[in-house]
A = this chain, B = another copy of it.
């Protein structure tokens, strides 16, 4: 454990402690699953006292929901940053799909998956997970619309963005069982072609440019 001195403000120490707890929770969820995650294990792994942990997150459900929320926000910011580095031109759509697929096959997705599946049969967890999942869903939808430059006022475009996200979610689920990165790449190649043809653009009306 790092030593803390009186020169570190209380607020900053609290922030660091919460962050350590939430990172440790996601690690636990990824490595041991929801059933294998306990508040005791998390406080040990984070090097935070049981008392401090219980003060910030009284129950396991508080801890796991906060952890997935925290990591999703962090990951969302990383996604937005990575997006700035994406190539323009003909490979742009494919690069966006690769970024989304990376997100949905990574550790944050695995942790979220543990939470979603546990929430399916746990009412109190579901009450916390459902609004979180909807907020995450809206956020990733917004990022995808931005990245692909989609005009959602044109018919059918919104549904194509949603389908793209459900597709990468399905690929993410498959990847938890089998390492199928080659299969995934071929599917994304093909979907990229189809998506580029199928998305409507403001300037692709036939002749009528009014």
Question: How far is A137 from B206 in the complex, measured between Cα atoms in Å?
Answer: 41
A172 nearest CB neighbor, chain B only: B170
Binds B, one of A56-64, A72-80, A175-183: A175-183
**Which bucket holds chain A's interface residue count?**
35 or more
Interface residues of A in 88-133 (CB under 8 A from B): 110, 113-114, 116-122, 126, 129-130, 133
Binds B, one of A13-21, A42-50, A192-200: A192-200
Contact B177 A162 (CB under 8 A): no
Q: Find A33's partner among B31, B110, B121, B163 (CB 8 Å cutoff).
A: B121
Question: How far is A116 from B175 in the complex, measured between Cα atoms in Å?
Answer: 10
Q: Find A177's partner among B33, B35, B133, B176 (CB 8 Å cutoff).
A: B133
Interface residues of A (CB under 8 A from B): 31-36, 110, 113-114, 116-122, 126, 129-130, 133-134, 137, 156, 159-160, 162-163, 165-174, 176-178, 183, 186-187, 189-191, 193-194, 197-198
